[in-house]
Structure 1
Amino acid sequence: MRGRAVLGSVVVMLARFAVMAAVAWLAGSLGWYAGLVVNAVLSLMALALVHRRGLWGRLGGVRPPSRLALLWLIPFGLDIALWVVPHGLQGKAPGFLPWAATLLLVGLNEELFVRGVVLDLLESAYTRVMAVVLSSCLFGLQHLSNLVLTDRGTLDVLENVLLSGVHGLAYAAFMVRFRWIWPLVVVHGIADFVKVLAARPLPDVAIVAEHVGLLALAVALLVTGRRRASTDDDDAVPVAVA
């Protein structure tokens, strides 16, 4: 059972990479916009896979937000703010809107693939904590594709693998705690957007502190999640609707 869950997860990630590489090659003549096309195709693929596996309810569906879940999103917002304050963002070709659209699609397809399909597969065979760890490792390792699809150096890519894995831990911990994927899609897209367009990158010491904070956030989410039943009165209280 566990072997099948891991194998299925790896197959899903390899299929994503294969489609990414194929579409990138076919759309290569579009220049920068090839990335937009690639992520649009991957998003459609992810949506189709989630639908086929009947995961919409498990991923949150149209569930109303809870106050508690919204509070736990604050640290993710602070993480984003680190990259914006005090120097702000700088424009890059082809402009803010194409970048925003592309990176939101990145957030959509990566969350549906990893915190949706892969995490669900792993949870069918492992404890929640182990499923979170394994899915985060796969999320980090998928960034090895940058060795093939970009001209980034090996050390840069390996650093990205490690840091992405840490982000994946926090995202997956939120997912198993609240079963609400849509804020993760938005947070993921915005986080990528501000990091790509930040006027100045964070110094190394700030990046280390940022990821230590994300690790602490992941642990806190997992610990509090184990203390509650899967459905809790606090979690179920919706934000007031007029």
Structure 2
Amino acid sequence: MKILKNPYWPAIGVAVLCTFFTALGSAIAEMTEAEEAAAYLIMAGGVAVSALLGLLIMKRSGNVMKQYGFRLPDRNGIGHVWMYVPLFLLELVPVLIYGFHFNKQPVVYMVLLLFTLLVGLNEELYFRGLVVGYLNRVSTRTAIIGSSVIFGALHAVTALNGKNLGLVLLQVGFAFLAGLVLVQIVVLTKSLWPGILWHIVHNFLSFSTEDVFDEKAILVVSVQVILLLVYAIGMGISLSKRQALERPVTMG
């Protein structure tokens, strides 16, 4: 892979590319006034195109896939199951407050599962794969902070849709902290798969319960942001102890 003098621009470029195709699928679904299942299918198509382009960019870079994190978690690092428990406990917050609300047609959940599978793969291969790959040329610290800021900033654009300002700010904070936690997991385990799995679960539950996401939304997101903040700090301490912040992380 050729070393770019300024890795920030390609990092931002691939992040915008990822967001563009996701937004394009959503826009087409809205313009066609598609039914719920069809809308998810259209959006899944946009995400699939994005993921294929991302994989093509990885291939053309000359690096093997495992160097971007498509490998099992490193058991020599902090790759044990316990490390992932806080992420999945995070998803219990809306369930405890709202309960389960699976009242849609089965076909909707089937298409929704396909959509969330693609979104989880797509966003992780871009933000924790390509973006981290570019910024890691500077240092691991730059990759961690930079990828989290880009992830939070692009989610801020999608969050600005007329919602309560406080909720929007919380969602942006959630995106930044989630990105911070996920990229630290990649650095510690050298694997994208834990983040992909969590992303799928989070999105599936979020879309499944969006019909009941009412005035309690601020409470739910606030609790999740606090949990993510504590988790991110704990992960940062683990990284500092390993003295892995000032040198590029090696995936191979």
TM-score by length of 1: 0.79
Q: Does 1:48 align with 2:60?
A: no
Match of 2:138 among 117, 122, 125: 125
Would you say 1:222 and 2:236 are equivalent positions? Answer: yes
Alpha-carbon distance, 1:215 to partner: 1.7
The alpha carbon displacement at 1:136 in A equals 0.8
The answer for the alignment partner of 1:36 in structure 2 is 44
1:16·1:42 contact (CA, 8 Å) conserved in 2? yes
Count, aligned residues: 227
1:1-242 residue pairs with structure 2 within 5 A?
A: 4-22=6-24, 28-29=31-32, 31=34, 32=39, 33-53=41-61, 54-63=63-72, 66=75, 68-69=78-79, 70-85=81-96, 87-92=99-104, 95-126=108-139, 128-146=140-158, 152-153=162-163, 155=165, 157-198=168-209, 200-201=212-213, 203-228=217-242
C-alpha separation in 2, matches of 1:137 and 1:119: 12
Shift of 1:3: 7.1
Are residues 77 and 21 of structure 1, via their aligned partners in 2, closer, same or farther at CA, if it must alter by over 3 Å?
Answer: closer
Task: Tell me the distance in 2 between the aligned counterparts of 1:228 and 1:180.
Answer: 17
SS at match of 2:184: helix
Cα RMSD of the aligned pairs, angstroms, is 3.0
Report how far residue 16 of structure 1 moved: 2.5
Cα separation, partners in 2 of 1:20 and 1:203, compared to 1, 3 Å: closer
CA distance in 1, matches of 2:43, 2:7: 30
Local SS of the residue matching 1:57: helix
Q: CA deviation at 1:76?
A: 0.6
Unaligned runs of 5+ in 1: 231-242
SS of residue matched to 1:73: helix
- Identity value in percent: 21
Q: Cα distance, 1:114 vs. partner? A: 0.3
| Counterparts of 2:5 and 2:159, CA distance in 1 | 28
Deviation at 1:15? 2.4
Name 1:233's counterpart in structure 2: none
Q: SS at the partner of 2:66?
A: coil
Residues 210, 175 of structure 1: alpha-carbon distance in 2 compared, 3 angstrom cutoff: same
DSSP-derived class of the 1:42 partner: helix
Paired residue secondary structure (1:217) = helix
CA contact (8 A) 1:106 1:189 kept: yes
Deviations, residues 50-72 of structure 1 (Å, cap 9, x unaligned): 23332522233343663942211
Contact kept, 8 Å, 1:43 with 1:108, in 2: the verdict is yes
Distance in 2 of aligned mates of 1:196 and 1:15:
23
Alpha-carbon distance, 1:23 to partner: 5.1
TM-score by length of structure 2 reads 0.76
Residue number in structure 2 paired with 1:239: none
1:97 CA drift (Å): 1.3
